[in-house]
Amino acid sequence: MSSPDIILSARKLTKRFSGFTAVNGVDLDVERGTIHALIGPNGAGKTTCFNLLTKFLQPSAGNISFNGRDITGLAPAAIARLGVVRSFQISAVFPRMSVLENVRIALQRRRGDSFDFWRNQKVLNAYDEEARERVEEVGLTEFIGETAGELSYGRKRALEIATTLALEPEMLLLDEPMAGMAQEDVSRISALIRRIAAKRTILMVEHNLSVVADLSDKITVLARGEVLAEGPYEAVSKDPRVIEAYIGA
């Protein structure tokens, strides 16, 4: 059997906040092309871990590598340029702009063009061709001319994902993609995550365990800042230590 193709890995990742260790020696390997979920009871260290991986926090110890390259010392923007993008970090849904205009802005950011592109019809046409593809990918084509602020909550999230995809990530980190969503939107965003995962790797922190069960190839369970269990949902959900950690939380 060939060894797994690891896109993102962390070794002995540790974060201390004035004496309190929120993340304690976490090892994590995310395999390319998979949906990997980070779960655990409240206070387990999921958000801290997520912030370390996206470099919104600097680790106290340990290291992180992406595609075999050590990225521990890099800033979030540098990591995004390498292809690891955190969704909702750019939460740039401008409510008074249309869906299409929102995606255009994201493309403009990626390309680093000046805002003058609005006045150049040729550039604008090139942008729009790509923007339409992104909008289609997240299932918002029929809303392309609508004002973003008027979209339902779930569709706003889909638009946020489209703006993230405009950065052409190889890997997407999703922070609670289902938070605050109605069931109808949960199904829609689940289908969307599955669709975008066909070409990318996804690591998500998510509280909704039925979504985690439904989408994830692999799950890492954190408790008290440490990895408690790892594996497919069927295995970890039956692990007595995991059950205990959830009940005891």
Pick out residues in 5-34 that bind ligand ADP (CB under 6 A): 17, 20, 22
If the CB atoms of residues 25 and 83 are measured against ligand ADP, the closer one turns out to be: 25
Q: Kindly state whether residue 42 participates in binding ligand ADP, applying the rule CB under 6 A.
A: yes
- Asked whether 225 and 43 are in contact (CB, 8 A), the reply is no
Supply the minimum distance, in Å, between the C-beta of residue 58 and ligand ADP.
12
* Kind plus residue range of the DSSP H or E element containing 86: strand 84-86
Please give the Cα distance from 67 to 38 (Å, whole number).
20
Residue with tokens 């938070």: 179
**Which residue's CB is nearer to ligand ADP, number 135 or number 219?**
219
Single residue of 28, 36, 47, 107 touching ligand ADP by CB under 6 A: 47
CA distance 137 to 6: 26
Q: Which of 8, 35, 37, 45 binds ligand ADP (CB under 6 A)?
A: 45
Instruction: Compute CA distances 170 → 24, 36, 73, 78, 174, whole Å.
Output: 27, 14, 20, 14, 13
Contacts of 181 (CB under 8 A, 6+ apart): 153, 154, 157, 189
Which residue's CB is nearer to ligand ADP, number 47 or number 163? 47
Q: Which of 24, 48, 163, 216 binds ligand ADP (CB under 6 A)?
A: 48
Shortest Å, Cβ 56 to ligand ADP: 11
- Interacting span for ligand ADP (CB under 6 A) from 40-48, 107-115, 141-149, 233-241: 40-48
CA-to-CA dists, residue 227 to 14, 15, 172, 217, 247, angstroms: 12, 14, 21, 17, 17
Nearer to ligand ADP, 10 or 131 (CB): 10
Count of positions on this chain that bind ligand ADP (CB under 6 A): 11
Q: Which stretch in 44-52, 84-92, 140-148, 241-249 sits in contact with ligand ADP by CB under 6 A? A: 44-52
Q: Which residues pair with 36 in a beta bridge?
A: 203, 218
Residues from 50 through 89 that contact ligand ADP (CB under 6 A): none
For 98, the token pair is 């249309």
Interaction site with ligand ADP (CB under 6 A): 17, 20, 22, 40, 42-48
